[in-house]
Amino acid sequence: MARQPIVLTSNLIPNLEPNTGALANIYSNKDPVNRDPIVENEDGTFTIPTYERTVVDDIPDDFDWSMYGRAGPTLRYFHRVRTGEIEYDPSNDVVDPSTLTDTSNPDLPDAAEVIKQELISVGTQLAAGVGAQVGRSIAANVGDGDFTSANISGGISDFTSNFKPMDVFRAPSTGPSAKLGFSPLSDNAELAAFDKIISQGQVSATEASLYPDASRAKISAAQDAKIQRDALVKTGETGILDGMKDRFDPNSAAGRANLYGSAGAGAATIAANLIAGRNLKQSVRSGAKVGVGTYVGTLIGGPFGGMIGGILGGRVICNELMRQGVMTRKQVVLDYKFTRDHLTPTHVNGYHVWAVWMVKQMRKGRFVPFWKHVAGHRANEIAYVYGERSKPDYLGKVYRKVLEPICWSIGFFCKKTDWTVLYNQKEV
């Protein structure tokens, strides 16, 4: 609501005559309308006056707004105008609880069921991670030879002998089940090794004074690594495409680790879903999504790879709306395309920070109408961007301009969120 200006009829400035000096151009609201009181009637009802504000239309066009500073032209004056009255009966202001019950919708799950589903979700995700580790251990056991049944038992044996309790929550950094970004002895692997040596050569003044010999050795090793790294980069075999080619080749160590690890993640997801009580078809579909998402995400690598893997392996609010029949598959596909073309991994990360919780609420029947409205208008605007709609959706454009910067800001400060927990036991 606009702030009321100080006028001559206010309590702050008396109605001076003549209007002189610094007050020469102040506009005077000549007919202020006071608010009428609420009247209690004899029958127990209340008569309540209603008002609206209308813009003052008698301000001269040449009125001098400069006295109000830079914001002067944006100021407007308003009248309060009585429009009528309403009758309020307190005896009718009673809600029958029975009228609030919608028998057409299923009852929400109780607390025990919610906890159960959350535990199943977490357990399935952990199982997928462990399955990927087993798959990579098998890949390491296969080596450059042909795959045999003995490789499975050998890989599982290697996995169990090196397994530590914390490996349930994250892949180990070393060993047969570790994630393999590049094949050993490849140019990209050598480049990563040189980068590690160079980073270790950053010696502080305190370290140099306490351990001069060790510090000089680190600095010397970093300098040598820098020379070798520069020479390696000039070969042209250390680019992003070369790394992807290495992870795609099933005959390379990185390629085998990616293939077997993704298969292990998918197989473990299927097993976990079957144990949780899902049918075979649902379990296989969930396992396939997790496996494909893991493979593609690892193949591309980096934050962008994780984003693409997420698109293939799981979806968030838009997918939930599609699952509930609110959005079409075409709208969701266009949303993925828009994310790829116009947003960054930081946007996606920030979106997942809050969207994972939101989807869990939507599955309980909450906020669905709100997101139907927001996502629908945004989908219309995205369709316009890609020529699938003849005119823009201005409300959808507003939602884009508001939500996208918010997501980016959250993603800039927050850690990556594991959104895949939403889809390990839920149908996509």
What tens-digit pLDDT sequence spans the chain (428 residues)?
444 444 444 444 444 444 444 444 555 555 555 678 888 888 888 888 887 776 666 666 666 666 665 555 555 556 677 788 888 888 777 666 666 555 555 555 566 776 777 677 778 888 888 888 998 999 888 877 777 878 888 888 888 888 888 888 888 888 888 888 888 888 888 888 888 888 888 888 888 788 888 888 888 888 888 888 888 888 877 777 788 888 888 888 888 888 898 898 889 888 988 888 878 887 887 788 788 778 877 777 765 455 445 544 444 677 777 777 888 878 887 887 888 778 887 778 778 777 888 888 888 888 888 888 888 899 899 889 888 888 899 888 888 888 888 878 777 777 776 666 665 544 33
The whole-number pLDDT of residue 11 equals 42
Q: What is the pTM of this model?
A: 0.48
Look at residue 4 in the predicted model and tell me its pLDDT.
45
Are 188 and 222 a contacting pair, CB within 8 Å?
no
**What pLDDT is stored for residue 105 in this prediction?**
53
Q: φ, ψ for residue 201 (rounded to 5)?
A: -80, 0
Question: In angstroms, what is the C-alpha Rg of the chain?
Answer: 33
- In terms of C-beta density within 10 A (0-12 exposed, 13-18 middle, 19 or more buried), how is residue 51 classed? middle
* Residue 145: Cβ-neighbour burial (10 angstroms; 0-12, 13-18, 19+): exposed
Query: CA 57, 63, 65 angle in degrees (round to 5)?
Result: 110
Cα(63)–Cα(72) distance, rounded to whole angstroms? 11
The letter for the amino acid at 151 is N
Distance CA 42, CA 153 (A): 90
Return phi, psi of residue 259, to 5°.
Answer: -65, -50
Task: Give the burial string for 394-424 (b: 16+ CB within 10 Å, else e).
Answer: eebbebbeeebeebbebbeeeeebebbbbbb
- Reported as type and span, the H/E element at residue 126 is helix 111-142
H or E segment and range at residue 16: none
Give the Cα separation of 237 and 244 in Å (integer).
11
Compute the distance between CA of residue 291 and CA of residue 268 in angstroms, rounded to an integer: 10
pLDDT of residue 355: 80
| Bridge partners (DSSP) listed for residue 53 | 80
* DSSP classification of residue 277: T
Q: Minimal CA–CA distance to 195: which of 248, 233, 237, 157?
A: 233
- For residue 21, the one-letter residue type is G
Q: Which residues contact 347 (CB under 8 A, 6 or more apart)?
A: 339, 404, 407, 408, 411
- Evaluate whether 327 touches 368 at the Cβ level (below 8 Å): no
Q: How far apart are CA 369 and CA 365, in angstroms?
A: 9
Q: Is 316 in contact with 323 (CB distance < 8 Å)? A: no
- What pLDDT score does 387 carry? 87
pLDDT at 197: 87
pLDDT the model gives residue 15: 47
Measured CA to CA, the distance from residue 264 to residue 141 in angstroms comes to: 14
What pLDDT, on the 0 to 100 scale, is given for residue 206? 82
Distance of CA 89 to the CA centre of its chain: 47
Q: Coil, helix or strand for 88?
A: strand
* Neighbour tally for 175: CB within 10 Å: 18
Q: Within 10 A of 64 (CB to CB), how many other CB atoms are there? A: 12
Cβ neighbours of residue 135 under 8 Å, at least 6 residues apart? 155, 260, 261, 262, 263, 264, 265, 267
Neighbours of 197 (CB within 10 A): 17
Nearest to 67 by CA among 137, 7, 127: 7
